[in-house]
Amino acid sequence: MSVNNTNSFEPSYDTCKAVSDQCPVSATLYGDYFSTIACIFFTISFAVLLVIQLYYLIKSRAWSYVIYLGIGTAFELVGYFSRKMLSDNPWQFMPFVLQLFLLMLAPTFIAAAISVTFKHLVIYYGSQWSPIRPRWYPWIFVGSDVISILIQAVGCAFAAMASSGDKKDAKMSDISSAMLILGVTF
């Protein structure tokens, strides 16, 4: 009499807490360890940049620019610190979600900071060359950045849900990929 075991073990963030024979690093989303040196380098770099930006926030009157740039830089800092944690143990779920979410959203905030400066460039070079009034540029560009952030946040949430179950949910993973691509290209 043959007994078929249909309950095969599939590694996931719920069933694995550390790298082992049953939970190899190759079964994680990235399939390898992050470079510890690179993660530390980028964490320190973004920390230094954030301190410089905080100095300029106090010194300058460019509040919206520095705030958007500061949020983006802080997201990069925490995202790379989370990747540093994953370089020690890639099966940690919270650092995985943090780095995924924050490193996807950080460039959007940095783009919003750049969009805010566009208004001042148009004013400097002459608003007669612009098809719309300069005061509308931040509203249009930052508004589209907010929509992009929301779409990416939904994609990150779907990615986290797809990775958190006992087995990978292929449909949820496809939805998250589509949402992330849509958010980035928006």
Mean pLDDT of 158-168: 68
Q: Are 82 and 98 in contact (CB under 8 A)?
A: yes
pLDDT in tens, 17-50: 888 888 888 888 788 888 999 999 999 999 999 9
Measured between alpha carbons, how far is 72 from 89 in angstroms, rounded to an integer? 26
Does the global pTM surpass 0.75? yes
Closest CA to 81 of 70, 66, 92, 68: 92
Amino acid at 153: A
Amino acid at 15: T
| Res. 135: pLDDT tops 90 | no
Return phi, psi of residue 10, to 5°: -120, 125
Closest CA to 141 of 118, 122, 124: 118
Measured between alpha carbons, how far is 127 from 136 in angstroms, rounded to an integer? 12
Measured between alpha carbons, how far is 24 from 100 in angstroms, rounded to an integer? 20
pLDDT in tens, 147-157: 888 888 888 78
pLDDT at position 77, please? 97
SS3 content of the chain, % helix, strand, coil (to 5): 70, 0, 30
| Res. 102: pLDDT tops 90 | yes
| Res. 16: pLDDT tops 60 | yes
pLDDT in tens, 58-69: 888 788 888 999
Measured between alpha carbons, how far is 16 from 24 in angstroms, rounded to an integer? 9
Mean pLDDT of 86-107: 89
Measured between alpha carbons, how far is 156 from 106 in angstroms, rounded to an integer? 13
pLDDT at position 167, please? 57
Please list, in sequence order, all residues whose beta carbon lies within 8 angstroms of the beta carbon of residue 16, skipping any fewer than 6 positions away: 22, 23, 27, 91
Mean pLDDT of 85-98: 90
Placement of tokens 């949430």 in the chain:
157
| Res. 86: pLDDT tops 80 | yes
